[in-house]
Amino acid sequence: MKKAIGLALAVLATTVVAASAQGSPKVVQVATAGVNCKSTITLPLVTPVTGGAGFLGAEQGSWAKYAVKTLAPKLGLKVKFVLGDTPVEQGASVAQTIAQKYVGDKSVLAILGPSTSGAVAASSATYGQAKIAHISPSATRTDLTQGTAKEATSAFFRVVPGDYIQGPTDASYMVKTLHVKKVVLLDFQEPYSVGLSDAVEAALKKAGVSTSRLSAPNTTTDYSAYVTKVPSDADIVFFPTQKPGDAQTFAQQLIEQGKKAKVFGGDGSDGPGEFKAAGSYVSNFAPDITGIKADAAIVAGWKKDNPGKTVGSFGPPSYGAAQVAMEAIKLACTQGHGTATRQTVLRNIKKVKINNWILGGQFRWSTKTNDPLNAKFYIFQIQSDGSYKLVG
């Protein structure tokens, strides 16, 4: 009996300790703790640095780092840029671990990312509780910012439009331009691809297109059996992977099995060095910024820092997210007379307006949601030399 009581007390004590560690007082303390704006502020980018989507972290990291290097001195800030790795293969738990690490770091006033929708859904509550603004350059799942059951907190922002635009844009292009009759959609059992496939499928069905759905684990490397299930009269396979090399494999295996369907990838499939199957399509939230005159100096500077690298579509929004974060920190510093808190930074995010936005035009936030105003998706077709041509 004594043992049982002892055990019960031990469990109770453990629960109390655990609950107090989880509870908010300490978090609130950090959220309201002021950071001297002359001290070094840490700005992390949470993105997949390793794993099959490691290219994403490499590209986003190089652009965010360049933004910190060039913009922070102009704003009178000392910013240390760091990377937090969330490999897509390891699921949501990694994002949560990283969130706890940054919440505990007092020099962190805002976060860039998480880059993937799954990582945002897994960690937004932790950032939200700590009043840390987290600004994603690439998470597009609609439910993160919209709808009745939002998956992210009000501290989450994204500088690119979501699947609520990408889904209908892609579907509309398939229906109106490609005149499709039958489409196969494949998801990868994680929030990004499931959400985007849902959005595209709904729009296609509304337009009377015949659809069927396949689902592959995120660790799949060989798609032969999935290709076997693609009907020979299917026009398009919608393939919203976060690993462009897999889109290339799928396109090759379609040809191998004599299927006429073309691959249509989402923004996660955009990777000119890896996905280069001629005739395939990808959609993305960013245009090719090398064609924007106002960005010439930025592109040149980035290329100087990253010799031999090509400008992709994922990098520039990361530059934009870093710019928004640092502008908000600057506003908070001004309001706080040289001191900024996580709360004041968070309050200032939506006050940021950028006239020469890296993706072209002006950047402003929507008044209704934490999404950008008037942003759109672009559709590219892959040419025989592997280049991406803007077609929609």
Quick one: 183 exposed, middle or buried, by C-beta within 10 A (0-12, 13-18, 19+)? Answer: buried
Q: Which is nearer to another protein, 101 or 229 (CB)?
A: 229
What mask, x for binding another protein by CB under 8 A, covers residues 47 to 66? --xxxx-xx-xx--------
Contact at 8 Å (CB) between 262 and 292?
A: no
Q: Which is nearer to another protein, 160 or 216 (CB)?
A: 216
Locate tokens 């609950």: which residue? Answer: 19
At a CB cut-off of 8 Å and minimum separation 6, what does 116 contact? 47, 48, 53, 56, 86, 88, 138, 139, 190, 191, 192, 242
| Alpha carbon distance 346, 329 (integer Å) | 9
| Alpha carbon distance 302, 306 (integer Å) | 6
**Can residue 243 be called a binding residue for another protein (CB under 8 A)?**
yes
Q: Are strands 35-36 and 156-158 parallel, antiparallel or unpaired?
A: unpaired
**Can residue 217 be called a binding residue for another protein (CB under 8 A)?**
yes
**Can residue 262 be called a binding residue for another protein (CB under 8 A)?**
no
Q: Which is nearer to another protein, 229 or 351 (CB)?
A: 229
**Can residue 114 be called a binding residue for another protein (CB under 8 A)?**
no
**Can residue 257 be called a binding residue for another protein (CB under 8 A)?**
yes
**Can residue 189 be called a binding residue for another protein (CB under 8 A)?**
yes
Q: Which is nearer to another protein, 131 or 243 (CB)?
A: 243
Contact at 8 Å (CB) between 250 and 185?
A: no
Candidates 87, 118, 317, 372; binder of another protein (CB under 8 A) is 87
**Can residue 387 be called a binding residue for another protein (CB under 8 A)?**
no
Candidates 78, 205, 206, 229; binder of another protein (CB under 8 A) is 229
| Alpha carbon distance 138, 161 (integer Å) | 9
Q: Are strands 182-187 and 210-215 parallel, antiparallel or unpaired?
A: parallel
Q: Which is nearer to another protein, 47 or 344 (CB)?
A: 47
Candidates 224, 290, 310, 374; binder of another protein (CB under 8 A) is 224
Which region among 4-12, 93-101, 139-147, 213-221 touches another protein (by CB under 8 A)?
213-221
Quick one: 282 exposed, middle or buried, by C-beta within 10 A (0-12, 13-18, 19+)? Answer: buried
Q: Which is nearer to another protein, 62 or 153 (CB)?
A: 62
What mask, x for binding another protein by CB under 8 A, covers residues 12 to 51? -------------------------------------xxx
Candidates 60, 249, 280, 343; binder of another protein (CB under 8 A) is 249
Cis peptide upstream of residue 114 (ω within 30 degrees of 0)? yes
**Can residue 8 be called a binding residue for another protein (CB under 8 A)?**
no
**Can residue 89 be called a binding residue for another protein (CB under 8 A)?**
yes
| Alpha carbon distance 261, 249 (integer Å) | 14
**Can residue 278 be called a binding residue for another protein (CB under 8 A)?**
no
Candidates 16, 17, 18, 255; binder of another protein (CB under 8 A) is 255
Tell the smallest beta-carbon distance from residue 378 to another protein (Å): 24
Q: Which two tokens stand for residue 370?
A: 């934490």
| Element holding 47 (H helix, E strand) | strand 40-47
Q: Which of 225, 216, 174, 170 is nearest to 194 (CA)?
A: 216
Which region among 121-129, 170-178, 247-255, 376-384 touches another protein (by CB under 8 A)?
247-255
Contact at 8 Å (CB) between 365 and 145?
A: no
Which region among 63-71, 125-133, 238-246, 291-299 touches another protein (by CB under 8 A)?
238-246
Candidates 27, 68, 112, 214; binder of another protein (CB under 8 A) is 214
Residue 358 identity (one-letter amino acid):
I
Per-residue CA distances from 16 to 20, 23, 27, 103, 104 (Å): 6, 10, 17, 21, 20
| Alpha carbon distance 173, 293 (integer Å) | 28
Q: Which is nearer to another protein, 189 or 356 (CB)?
A: 189
Q: Is 309 helix (H, G, I), strand (E, B) or coil?
A: coil
Residues that bind another protein (CB under 8 A): 49-52, 54-55, 57-58, 87, 89, 189, 214-217, 219, 221-222, 224-226, 228-229, 243, 245-246, 248-249, 252-253, 255-258, 274
